[in-house]
């Protein structure tokens, strides 16, 4: 095995040589990002030929810092979070070589934004109960159904999609996973207006959408296995964003505390300190989780990070309103817009308070995540599941 210090030094040399040949100040943005991908400096922990060098995942933050300090363009991480955090690792794990070559490069460069067609009106937390049907016709699948709570579907080119391909077997066994072109005929995206006034989420209607079998990810009937890997990646992506000490929401609230001494009370001070400690524990736990990820695939422990993220965001945004008093009740803009990304720290306190309410729903409800932690992390007895061995078509709808 190569010496870690030698590997790191060689990686730094590669980056320096790349920057010398592709000056960020003079190279067109898309050309720069494509060249970075082709040089294996996109995801360095991905295999060679797919944006990486097959190096340890722990080196990725240093790579990103070196490019950022050089003034290199980013790849729309905030806009394409679903693609980068969920679709890409799933395609890498389950995709064919042809699928990896087709999708990973434009996904990483941000040229193709992705969304997630999982939840349905009758199957939100119980993803295995999805009713959207995919029927095979030769080398094509015809898909009909409705999806809901789909973030950035209005901007997405592709979607990861779970559909039912066999209603005659138990619900977990009859699912198949697809890559859906959102520009195809029959895909209808409609906005869902939220409590914030915006329509960041959507509902998506699929009517006779034709998906080639070459866009099936994984084997027919193994959609649950592929979807589970995607959901593990999602929960890690939501709850495990690297942040400095006092970064994110706790930093916003701490700044508000310092700027408004007239609002300070002993009770609010005690609550802020407790939440600050919780946020720091979560940050350090996230570092440990990233170290584990560097050694393999994400596991159920990512659910604990997502749970903590939701709780802290909601408690901190509520504390911020109390610190601001009547000023916290102001809401700057109720215009119905369809944003590309969520911006917690760049908006006012009213927005943060309202938007944080969705944190315990999106990416898996907190109730479902507690069940996952209880059963798969703590090893507690599983809840009784009377529908596990019954064919899906016989279940009460």
Closest CA to 205 of 150, 249, 151: 150
| 362 belongs to the catalytic site | no
CA–CA separation, 149 and 234 (whole Å)? 15
Instruction: Identify the three-state secondary structure at position 267.
Output: helix
Question: Which of 234, 246, 262, 394 is flagged as catalytic?
Answer: 234
Nearest 10 degrees: Cα torsion 231, 235, 236, 242: 150
Instruction: Identify the three-state secondary structure at position 87.
Output: helix
Please, are residues 352 and 340 in contact by the beta-carbon 8 Å criterion? no
Closest CA to 179 of 300, 74, 91: 91
In which residue are the tokens 């080398």 written? 139
Pairs from 100-104 (Cβ < 8 Å, separation ≥ 24): 100/50, 101/50, 103/158, 103/179, 104/46, 104/50, 104/51
Task: Tell me how long the chain is.
Answer: 397
Residues identified as active-site: 234
């Amino acid at each position: 095995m190569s010496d870690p210090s030698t590997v790191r030094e060689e990686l730094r040399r590669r980056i320096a040589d790349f920057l010398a040949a592709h000056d960020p100040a003079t190279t067109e943005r898309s050309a720069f990002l494509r060249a970075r991908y082709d040089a294996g400096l996109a995801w360095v922990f991905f295999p060679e030929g797919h944006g990486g060098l097959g190096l340890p995942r722990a080196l990725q933050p240093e790579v990103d810092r070196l490019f950022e300090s050089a003034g290199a363009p980013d790849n729309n991480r905030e806009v394409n979070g679903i693609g980068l955090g969920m679709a890409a690792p799933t395609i890498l794990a389950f995709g064919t070589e042809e699928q990896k070559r087709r999708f990973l490069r434009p996904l990483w460069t941000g040229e193709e934004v992705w969304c997630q067609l999982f939840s349905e009106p009758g199957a939100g937390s119980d993803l295995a109960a999805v009713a959207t049907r995919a029927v095979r016709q030769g080398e094509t699948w015809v898909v009909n159904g409705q999806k809901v709570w789909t973030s950035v579907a209005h901007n997405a080119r592709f979607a990861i999609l779970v559909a039912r391909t066999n209603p005659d077997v138990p619900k977990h066994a009859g699912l198949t996973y697809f890559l859906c072109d959102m520009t195809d005929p029959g895909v209808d995206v409609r906005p869902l207006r939220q409590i914030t006034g915006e329509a960041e989420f959507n509902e998506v209607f699929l009517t006779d959408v034709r998906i080639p079998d070459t866009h099936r990810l994984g084997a027919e009937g193994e959609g649950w296995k592929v979807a589970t890997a995607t959901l593990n990646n999602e929960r890690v992506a939501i709850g495990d964003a690297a942040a400095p000490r006092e970064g994110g929401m706790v930093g916003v609230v701490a700044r508000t505390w310092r700027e408004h001494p007239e609002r300070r009370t002993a009770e609010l001070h005690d609550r802020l300190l407790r939440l600050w400690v919780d946020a720091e524990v979560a940050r350090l736990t996230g570092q440990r989780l990233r170290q584990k990820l560097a050694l393999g695939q994400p596991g159920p422990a990512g659910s604990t990070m997502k749970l903590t993220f939701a709780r802290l965001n909601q408690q901190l945004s509520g504390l911020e309103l109390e610190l601001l008093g009547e000023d916290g009740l102001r809401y700057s803009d109720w215009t119905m817009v369809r944003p590309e990304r969520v911006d917690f720290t760049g908006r006012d306190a009213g927005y943060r308070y309202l938007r944080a309410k969705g944190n315990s729903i999106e990416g898996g409800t907190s109730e479902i995540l507690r069940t996952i932690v209880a059963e798969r992390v703590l090893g507690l007895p599983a809840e009784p599941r009377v529908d596990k061995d019954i064919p899906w078509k016989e279940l009460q709808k």
